Amino acid sequence: MGGMINTDASGQGSLVYGKISDHVLSVKAILLGGEVLETYPMTVELAERFSQQQ
């Protein structure tokens, strides 16, 4: 799953069924150290604000 999400892969059926980004809206994962990682959709404007904070 992680590799498919990272590359937005979906194989031969993507033309018919769509890519991963067409179906996955958010991800909640528990990392190796126990930290919880949650992703969510955001607007381009919000992503740009986050990128300027670093």
Report pLDDT digits (tens) over 1-26. 778 888 887 788 888 888 888 889 99
The residue segments making up the domain with residue 39 are 2-53
Mean per-residue pLDDT of the chain:
89
The single-letter code of the amino acid at 54 is Q
Average pLDDT over residues 24-39: 94
Total number of domains in the chain = 1
The helix/strand/coil state of 29 is strand
Confidence of residue 30 (pLDDT cuts 50, 70, 90): very high
Please enumerate in sequence order all residues whose Cβ is within 8 A of that of 2, keeping only pairs 6 or more positions apart, or say none: none
- The whole-number pLDDT of residue 38 equals 94
The pLDDT of residue 26 is 92
